[in-house]
Structure 1
């Protein structure tokens, strides 16, 4: 019986659990995370409008772990020793014969005054803060933007900001309050959404213009106050700032000898292995993977990488060569609370389908379909 440890309880971690159980490998699985809980982050965009509540998105994993024969350790990873064979945690050391790190990334909070901005994808509490702030506002300027990791431009998550932005416009219109608010979108990128493809960039900017959303593009960010956003291109007022910084690795990576990318993530090869460490794999936002510069940091990609990592780890444990690789694919619906634009990209094609109600309902159906396995 092989002892395998998985760090995290997000998309990649849970996909790794399912994949290992499907592989036929006889293994004791231990999942290490602060809570036996999964938060469906893609639906945070619907919290400000009331389409979803925190309880809708917070899934108790106790029954799932029971069904899959997983031992959950309520703890935080703090380091790694013995060449990867001992995970150090806040609840003590955990020995393993195989390790999958799917603990997500960490937002870079170095900009002066960043405490005045809300980072929406940090979790349910952040989305609820946006909801409560907007409800209390009689009018004003709401500024939304994102930035990347200067040492690793691909380590960013800008897509949800578009959804919060368009969703806020639709929400305010539905409430009959849109004329009292100015919406401003800002980012250092001159072509925001470029990873979605050239057609998507044009479609997004055209839609912003149609809706009367102002843009402040291509200027490096300098900082925030409680009422302003400052860039190298100037300062503008904002009564509410919603900002997604670039991402880097977890702080506990500093207490390991694992190889790091220039942006602070765990280095991975095409099989999701961490080079130089036997039977240590990484999946999702925690890792830096070979691939095109548009490879996304999104749940779908984390699932694809976790599936490859788990299959390769199972193969190693059963004495086979790990040959599984992941497909590089961007698949998303840019939702606006009642409509959505479908964007798909891989190494063979890139297409954008215009916003329509069907795609909004597809996104909601996928949420139900995906979560039913964990409820």
Structure 2
């Protein structure tokens, strides 16, 4: 039985391990965390809509269900030519190598002065504690939330969770009867955050900000973060008692000293079948890979899982264990999400032909809650999995 080494225990890595097992491979999944973190539902941890354990799927449970082997280790070096990865605890080599380690972050001075809902999982708990401190004080406070961009790769931006976190915080403070005591400001380095979703969505986001009395601070690069606010490139200062910020993605630091071909932003160059260029038998998926496509393209969980499933299929064909057609991720590119607000949501969709945002008061919130339940239970095979999901 041929062996595949999968690096990473997120959406891409877990999906790859599941489907490689279905293709009959022996699979070792290497991840430093003992759980798969469900980032899309982590927005509820800081506002007590979910417990931390609710957004974690133990890899020990997943390996029992699907038959892959989870090894807890942190990868520090990759030798793509030899299909080999070196960790702090050991070395791993197989007939094929799948890289799904996620991404690094664009660096900002003073990063210790903000927390990120897309950062380390523990940040969600720290955010909850910081919000608790401000709420307990029962005084006027200023909270700023936002996200940044990567000029070297437009797909490396993750703005949706920042919008969701701000709207959920507004709703949380409203429930507490404290919304009028807090000044909320949403900031972004680009002039029109959310533009990739299409003109209709951009207008609707603006309406949301005005309706909810959320201030805007757009179009200025960040100079540094300070304990009580953000300094921008023109030396203007946005005061903040607590700052949540999602820096743009950049290539994972481990890739820099490897023999992997990289884009200008540090992501792994792959073909449409997710195979690393000039490295036969090595695949890169999810946030680790450079994605070709239109300017509006974005790295999302469902694209990562498409790349994972396709890679499993393509590896099976390369290995000669099945006959069929290799699958490309290109025609699957779109943006799709349910942007939650705590008391409702908006359904967002974008492809080459259209882009729209559909408000879903009340029911939208429970739709996303339902997706979180489905994600956990379908991966554990407690319920049937819907085709393509």
Q: TM-score, normalised by structure 1?
A: 0.95
- Note the alpha carbon deviations across 1:161-206, whole angstroms, 9 max, x for none: 0000111111101100011100001111111011222211111111
Q: Which residue in the other structure is 2:328 paired with?
A: 325
Give 1:125 shift: 1.4
Aligned-partner SS, 1:278: coil
Instruction: Kindly indicate whether the alpha-carbon contact (under 8 Å) linking 1:100 and 1:310 is maintained by their aligned counterparts in 2.
Output: no
Structure 1 residue 343 and structure 2 residue 348: aligned? yes
Distance across 2 between alignment mates of 1:26 and 1:307: 14
Partner of 2:89: 91
Equivalent residue number for residue 247 of structure 1: 249
Which residue of structure 2 lines up, in the alignment, with residue 160 of structure 1? Answer: 161
Among 42, 45, 61, the alignment partner of 1:44 is 42
Taking the aligned partners of 1:84 and 1:325, their CA distance within structure 2 comes to 25
- SS of corresponding position for 1:230: strand
Q: Which residues of 2 match residues 148-227 of structure 1 at below 5 A? A: 148-227=149-228
Query: Is the contact made by 1:316 and 1:322 (CA closer than 8 Å) also made in structure 2?
Result: no
CA deviation digits over 1:310-337, x for unaligned, max 9? Answer: 2111111117576211210211011011
User: Which residue of the partner structure matches residue 118 of structure 1?
Assistant: 115
* Contact 2:80/2:279 (8 A) holds in 1: no
| Residue 136 (structure 1) aligns with | 133
Query: Counterparts in 2 of 1:351-362, with a 5 A limit?
Result: 351-362=356-367
Please identify, of 161-170 and 142-151, the stretch whose mean Cα deviation from structure 2 is larger.
142-151
Structure 2 residue aligned with 1:15 = 15
Deviation at 1:347, TM superposition (A): 2.5
Task: Find the aligned partners of 1:168 and 1:68 in 2 and give their Cα distance.
Answer: 37
Query: Where in structure 2 are the equivalents of 1:59-70 lying within 5 Å?
Result: 59-70=57-68
Does the 8 A contact of 2:155 with 2:291 survive in 1? no
Instruction: Tell me the alpha carbon deviations over residues 247-270 of structure 1, each in whole angstroms, 9 at most, x when there is no partner.
Output: 112221123110111111111221
CA distance, structure 2, for counterparts of residue 306 and residue 150 of structure 1: 27
How do 1:102-117 residues align onto structure 2 when only pairs under 5 Å count?
A: 102-109=100-107, 111-117=108-114
Pick which of 96-105 and 313-322 moved more: 313-322
Residues paired across the two proteins, number: 372
RMSD: 1.6
| Contact persistence 2:18–2:68 (CA under 8 A) | no
- The change in CA–CA distance for 1:341 and 1:81 in structure 2 (over 3 A counts) is same
**Residue aligned with 1:288, SS:** coil
Structure 1 gaps, min length 5? none
Q: SS state of the match for residue 98, structure 2?
A: strand
1 CA distance for matches of 2:231 and 2:62? 46
Q: Distance in 1 between matches of 2:4 and 2:161?
A: 33
Could you tell me which residue of structure 1 aligns to residue 372 of structure 2? 367
